[in-house]
Amino acid sequence: MPESKEQAILEAAIHEFAAKGYEQASTNQIAKQAETSKGLVFHYFESKEKLYDACIRYAIHFTMKELDYENWPRTNRMIDDLKDYCKRELLFLKKYPDIYPLLARAIANPPDKLAGKMGELFGRMTALSQQYFADMIDRLNLKEDVDRSVLQAVVQSHLEYYNNRVMGYLKLHPDAMFEEMMPFFEQLIEMLKLSLQGLLKDDGK
């Protein structure tokens, strides 16, 4: 149960925006789902735009807190760590089914008024992702003649390719489920495997 009326409105809004996107979402429906008045919705959040912004910020914060990326166990086996990364995300998104469609819509098709702000928010998430992969590379048992900064650049190029493919797909299919992204993720894994061939001291991936 929501701890407050404000929280109830936020949760109802997340569900509505996730299902319909910003433009089609109804504040009347949000008020109905939260069992409150439309006036009280705007008392807490002032406008639909500010309510949407609050939902995105909450979803990002909640995701980072629940998944706790910074404290995941990391090994010198990058591919195994990535598979674990994906497994944890899938479990999280099945438990909280509104989170992924909300964020996917905001990334692929942000409202015009909020595009800059959305870009800034997701830029921070991208920076965290880059740090995550940098930490992975630091833990790899690489041969002495391997330049880690060059490998980091290669991995980053793979990530950009992966992100571009995912974003392109989402723009065409805004209602896509997370599982539909798996072929892109599997391709990323294969690209990383090829990039690591001959660079490791042992059989770790």
Question: Average pLDDT per run of 10 along the chain, which is 205 residues long?
Answer: 80 94 94 94 94 92 80 74 79 86 83 79 74 82 90 88 83 79 89 90 60
Question: Rounded to whole angstroms, what are the CA distances from 44 to 12, 36, 55?
Answer: 14, 12, 13
Look at residue 97 and give its three-state secondary structure: coil
> What per-residue confidence (pLDDT) applies to 29?
96
CA–CA dist 175, 106 (Å, integer): 12
Find out if CATH 3.40.720 is the number for domain 55-196.
no
For tokens 């609050």, what's the residue?
A: 54
Provide the pLDDT for residue 43: 94
Give Cβ neighbours of residue 196 (< 8 Å, ≥ 6 apart): 78, 79, 140, 205
DSSP character at residue 200: B
